């Protein structure tokens, strides 16, 4: 299924080196390593929009305050793009993320797999580095399964994938079922809107728990 991989994602994956004997931790960025929702809500409110917290998705939940107009998919994408342009470089880190990755990196290699628009790749990289998370960054678009498969297919050690989106976890389950999948949501309000993803092995909302889950599995597998 790696043929679903976009040319851009494939090239980025080819440009990094993966040690096939070492465990691999592939982590999403928004709402896992970086605080997305809180800042996005501030951005919306500043422009007289609001998020109404009725389900785990952006489209359908964003309204224009003065006339209660519900934003279309296209309008949401355009706002999101503006948000990423203005804020990608200055997002705050999820508490404990940097420390946990640092500790895990003594036993596993870390790769960050983000669906931030490719135009903001450098800003995302800089922001992650500013927070002490200077790991290889792959910027993907669409379902993450093919990218995770391409990154991990040759690895002969445990592979973990961490993401807040049930769809991304499902995509990985579909094409790379051997990957251990962790459903992580930092924002407590967002977390309330979605149950544990059916395609996940763990549901966590802190890096202390996440690191413990990964380390326990690594130890059990003899790594
Ligand atoms: Mg995310």
Cα of 28 vs centre of ligand 1, distance in Å, is 6
Q: How far is the CA of 120 from the centre of ligand 1 (A)?
A: 15
| pLDDT at residue number 3 | 52
* Domain shared by 76 and 11, yes or no: no
Q: Which residue has the higher pLDDT, 81 or 2?
A: 81
For residue 42, how many other CB atoms are within 10 A of its CB? 11
Ligand 1 center to 165 CA (angstroms):
6
27 and 46 belong to one structural domain: no
Query: How many domains does the chain divide into?
Result: 2
Same-domain pairing of 112 and 198: yes
CATH of the domain at 11: 3.40.50.1000
Cα(157) to centroid of ligand 1, in Å? 25
Alpha carbon distance 113, 116 (integer Å): 9
Q: Output the pTM of the full model.
A: 0.96
Whether residue 70 sits in one domain with residue 175: no
Question: pLDDT value at position 1?
Answer: 43
Residue 147 sits in the same domain as residue 69: no
Whether residue 172 is found in the same domain as residue 214: yes
String of DSSP letters for 24-54: EEEE--BTTTB--HHHHHHHHHHTTEEE--S
Q: Domain range spanning residue 206? A: 2-35+93-220
Closest C-alpha among 135, 108, 113, 112 to residue 23: 108
pLDDT band at 77 (very low <50, low <70, confident <90, very high): very high
At residue 4, the pLDDT reads 81
70 and 134 together in one domain: no
Pair 136, 112: CB distance under 8 Å: yes
C-alpha 30 – ligand 1 centre gap (Å): 4
pLDDT surpassing 50 at residue 9: yes
| Statement to judge: residues 83 and 109 lie in one domain | no
pLDDT, tens digit, 9 for 90 and up, residues 130-187: 999 999 999 999 999 999 999 999 999 999 999 999 999 999 999 999 999 999 999 9
């Amino acid at each position: 299924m790696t043929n679903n991989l976009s040319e851009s994602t494939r090239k980025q994956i080819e440009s990094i080196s993966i040690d096939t004997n070492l465990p691999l931790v592939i982590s999403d960025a928004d709402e896992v390593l970086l605080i997305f929702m809180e800042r996005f809500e501030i951005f919306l409110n500043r422009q007289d929009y609001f998020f109404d917290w009725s389900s785990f998705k952006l489209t359908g939940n964003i309204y224009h305050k003065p006339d209660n107009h519900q934003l279309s998919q296209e309008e949401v994408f355009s706002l999101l793009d503006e948000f990423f342009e203005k804020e990608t470089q200055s997002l705050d880190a999820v508490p404990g993320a940097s420390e946990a990755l640092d500790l895990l990196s003594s036993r596993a290699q870390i790769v960050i797999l983000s669906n931030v628009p490719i135009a903001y790749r450098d800003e995302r990289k800089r922001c992650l580095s500013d927070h002490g998370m200077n790991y290889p960054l792959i910027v993907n678009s669409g379902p993450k399964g093919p990218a995770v498969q391409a990154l991990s297919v040759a690895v002969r050690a445990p592979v973990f994938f961490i993401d807040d989106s049930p769809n991304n976890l499902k995509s990985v389950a579909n094409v790379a079922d051997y990957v251990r999948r962790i459903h992580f949501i930092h924002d407590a309000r967002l977390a309330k809107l979605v149950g544990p993803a059916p395609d996940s092995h763990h549901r966590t909302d802190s890096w202390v728990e996440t690191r413990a889950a990964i380390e326990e599995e690594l130890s059990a597998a003899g790594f």
